[in-house]
Amino acid sequence: MCYCMFASKAVWEKFTPQKKFDRQMYHYGNFSQDFLWGVSSSAYQIEGGWNAEGKGPSVWDTFTQKPGSEIPEDVNGNVACDSYNRLDEDLYMLQALKVKSYRFSLSWSRVFPNGRRESMNQKGVDYYNRLINGLLARKITPMVTIYHWDLPQALQDIGGWQNVEMVDIFNDYCDFCFATFGDRVKFWMTMNDPQGLAWQGYGTGQIPPNIKEPGTAPYQVAHNLIKAHATAYHTYDDKYRASQRGMVSIALKADWVEPKDINVPRDLVAADRAMQFHVGWFAHPIFKNGDYPEALKAQVLVKSELQGLSQSRLPSFTEEEKNLIKGTADMFCVNHYTTRLVTHITGLLSPHSYQNDWDFTEEQDSGSPATAIKNQRAVSWGLRRLLNWIMEEYGDPEIYITDNGGATTAKTSWDDIDRVFFYKTYINEALKAYELDGVLLKGYTATSLMDSFEWLNGYTVGYGFYHVDFTDPNRPRTPKLSAHFYFQLMKDNGFPITEDEKIEMMKTIIRERSLAAGLTKSRYHKKTKEKLLLSALLDILFF
């Protein structure tokens, strides 16, 4: 096995021998006292007010307002949860949940309607100032995503992220945000899920700006996104860090993959390659050496040569750019939802495509519970493995889970027991990674505060702790069962063992050790019983 597979190999060797019973074993324990519990949202999904008080159109406004968008019932985010007009209600919900943090995004076209500083909209700035101040007044930490997919339409009109000018334009927008909000915001993410934007926005064209150039545009866009992130990071470093003392990172989507057959070497290599194509594409330059992973570079180069091209479709960074990009994150922010199984294939050479470059296929773990989102099964054990992989692959960084949640159908207004199970199992796997494996996990952000506009799924599914009635102009919000569960979980700071559970564990330990010692009831005399009881008590006390 080559050195580049070290992290993946280490994780598979550690966890593959686990039996299903061991994998599903519940773990009792607590997170650190300063663990940052929170909930998330994003601007286009909840704010509404799409053209209110000077806001300019974004690419999502343009896309959803055209008939035939393929979003169920042709709905859009024009009103959504109406958070732009119901800020006090949002703050009330957050206070009722007693979260420590709230992750939200800034609408770029609400702050700069045409995407540039000269169009600055004071009403939009005032809205975010009220939100930030309201959070701090309630002792809630703002976690701010500067850009969450909703590019101002005016910037798409000049080519969007295919235009290298976007690097400087984005930097100026970030500079304004740092200068305006940075005295109170100490946790920044420059952008959310750039991999999804690059592939779905510019490759398949499923989401705005709906460009379908799968062989070149995703790589070109990713190249510019990485440079834009790094430039903004250095702006914070150079101008604001000394006085504001905040942290800056980027929120990367990272689902876990497993080789479908651990005994097939090609599947092992394919699964590692999948992690590099999905996560390493952005994480390797930022967290390692300023450049793309070797597996990604080699794969695209070979495919490009076989296609008769004179050079790789994957752009190259200059040495100066590598130095600019390397180390431009203060923590690892990860969005995680599911785990898939990977098998090696030989992908097509035509058409040219990022996906055809993979040479692997992915399938769901059919033995895990389905959610309301297609291809997003609840595979909780994958989270622990992913966190271990990040620790091994990227040098043991501090990690914040910045998005994690399970969707239910929109009809689920209160009894979302499936989501309770999702959170209980996923967060328990995160606890195992923290307590048993030594992962530096610092926070967990649940998706999401309330049901909202769920991108291509419209309002047919919900991730919220609060149900929102989108048929009512007042958008009433009602807490679900999962809100009560998450409230108690945060209050307990994990999964502390109860007295009843201690007694049951003690009985189980005594029974198992009696069987192991070959003791029957007739041989189970008083002194032996006392010794086993003492042994079990000590195990429980030091559990």
**pLDDT tens digit string along 482-531?**
999 999 999 999 999 887 777 776 677 666 656 665 654 444 455 455 55
Bridge partners (DSSP) listed for residue 450:
466
Residue 131 pLDDT exceeds 90: yes
327 assigned to some structural domain: yes
Q: What is the pLDDT of residue 520?
A: 47
CA 452 to mean position of chain CA atoms: 17
The DSSP H or E segment spanning 220 is: helix 217-239
Q: What is the pLDDT of residue 523?
A: 44
Mean pLDDT of the 187-200 span? 98
Q: Alpha-carbon distance 57 to 59, whole Å?
A: 7
pTM of the model: 0.93
Mean pLDDT of the 438-442 span? 98
1 assigned to some structural domain: no
Mean pLDDT of the 96-123 span? 98
Residue 138 has which token pair?
Answer: 């309630």
At 284, is the pLDDT very low, low, confident or very high (cuts 50, 70, 90)? Answer: very high
On the question of a cis peptide bond just before residue 369, with omega within 30 degrees of 0, the verdict is no
Residue 300 pLDDT exceeds 90: yes
At 1, is the pLDDT very low, low, confident or very high (cuts 50, 70, 90)? Answer: very low
Query: Whole-number mean pLDDT of the chain?
Result: 93
520 assigned to some structural domain: no
Q: What is the pLDDT of residue 68?
A: 87
Q: What is the pLDDT of residue 509?
A: 63
Number of domains observed in the structure of the chain: 1
499 assigned to some structural domain: no
Ranges 65-79, 168-182, 236-250: which has the least confidence: 65-79
514 assigned to some structural domain: no
Ranges 37-41, 261-265, 307-311: which has the least confidence: 261-265
527 assigned to some structural domain: no
Burial of 242 (0-12, 13-18, 19+ CB in 10 A): exposed
Mean pLDDT of the 393-422 span? 93
Residue 27 has what DSSP assignment? -
For 310, the domain range is: 7-492
497 assigned to some structural domain: no
Q: What is the pLDDT of residue 503?
A: 76
- Residue pLDDT, tens place only, 132-162: 999 999 999 999 999 999 999 999 999 999 9
Ranges 14-23, 24-33, 113-122, 459-468: which has the least confidence: 14-23
Q: What is the pLDDT of residue 147?
A: 99
Q: Check residue 283 and give left, alpha or beta (phi > 0: left; psi -120 to 50: alpha).
A: alpha
Residue 100 pLDDT exceeds 90: yes
Mean pLDDT of the 314-330 span? 98
* Helical residues (DSSP H) of 417-498, grouped into ranges: 417-435, 481-492
Q: What is the pLDDT of residue 6?
A: 74
- Residue pLDDT, tens place only, 342-363: 999 999 999 999 999 999 999 9
CATH of the domain at 117: 3.20.20.80
3-state class percentages of the chain: helix first, strand second, coil last, to nearest 5: 45, 15, 40
- Return the HEC string of 49-99: CCCHHHCCCEHHHHHHCCCCCCCHHHCCCCCCCCCCCCHHHHHHHHHHHCC
CB 254 within 8 A of CB 334: yes
- Residue pLDDT, tens place only, 451-492: 999 999 999 999 999 999 999 999 999 999 999 999 999 999
Report the share of the chain in percent with pLDDT over 70.
Answer: 92
Identify which of 191-195, 366-370, 411-415, 538-542 has the greatest average pLDDT: 191-195
Q: Which residue has the tokens 């040098």?
A: 395
540 assigned to some structural domain: no
Residue 190 pLDDT exceeds 80: yes
CB 293 within 8 A of CB 286: no
On the question of a cis peptide bond just before residue 448, with omega within 30 degrees of 0, the verdict is yes
CA 218 to mean position of chain CA atoms: 20
